[in-house]
Chains A and B, each alone.
Chain A
Amino acid sequence: MKDTIHSKRPVAVPNVVKLEFFSRSENVSLARLAAAAMAAERQISMAELDELKVAVSEAVSNAIIHGYQGKEDGLITMTLISSAQRLSISVHDDGVGIEDVEQAMKANFSSSGERMGLGFAFMQAFTDGVEVTSYPGAGATVVLHKDFL
């Protein structure tokens, strides 16, 4: 395929990258770049890479908007684990948490202003799996999985 970035090497031992950054909107692009750089090491098309960037963008934006409710000095921890067949990207915040995860993951559910409530829908559509763990008042963790066969 002409738009495929060729794999540079097989991943025998998992590689782990951990980033911590404040809940500022300008850090969303940083998170996207980190995920794209790690994914580009693998056999992935440009379209899939674009989709993964959207999923990461949504996860980090949710942490800022919903988790920290716009507060700019909340800490977001992003952990990228690249193993033989999978890239897993965890986005954790210590914000207000998600009251009802099942409800939050439904498309067009959004509790604030000019937003489409498509964040989780995009995360689910553009990855091979999404895990959400949250307890009200105790933050949230979203893990995005991208499989490489």
Chain B
Amino acid sequence: MDFKTEHKNYQGRDWLVVAVGGELDLSAAGPFKDKLKTALAKSRSRCLMLDFSRVSFIDSSGLGVLMGRYRELALNGGRIVIRHANDQVYRLLTASGLDRLIEVEPPVGGHFAKEERE
């Protein structure tokens, strides 16, 4: 599983941007969770943006990691946004109802895509 972090400014706020790659299944869930927790602990930002451009697959194990971070971060006033999810990942985020808790940018368009173009 690939995992790269950087900070970006969106909407006047500092975002921890994490680019993830690979298949987010049971095998990746542990490392994905640990790396996210470490990156969030090091960062002062409470806004997490997950770039899923290179995530090829997700199942309930991967969704569980996202749910766990939502509970820790979003409930303390933070935000989580997922961008560039492929069709399979997007369908599971919506089928699970996670898109009602975490902002999932649609495959085309979205607020952040608009801000990047401007």
Contact = CB atoms under 8 A, between A and B. Distances in A.
Interface of A: 25-26, 28-29, 32, 46-47, 50-51, 53-54, 57-58, 61, 64-65, 114-119, 122, 125
A29 B63 CA distance: 16
A47 B60 contact: no
Nearest to A118: B60
A117 to B, nearest CB: 8
B39 interface: no
Given A25-B27, A29-B25, A29-B27, A58 B59 contact: yes
A26 B30 CA distance: 12
B80 interface: no
**What secondary structure prevails in chain A residues at the interface with B?**
helix
Interface string B47-75: 00000000001011101110110000000
B28 to A, nearest CB: 8
B25 A28 contact: yes
B64 A54 contact: no
B67 A61 contact: no
- Pairs of residues from A and B, 10 with the lowest C-beta to C-beta distance, nearest first: A25-B27, A50-B88, A57-B59, A114-B68, A25-B26, A118-B60, A115-B64, A61-B26, A26-B27, A28-B26
Contacts of B63: 116, 118
Nearest to B60: A118
Given A32-B25, A54-B88, A116-B60, 8 more contacts: A25-B30, A29-B25, A57-B59, A57-B61, A114-B67, A115-B64, A116-B96, A118-B60
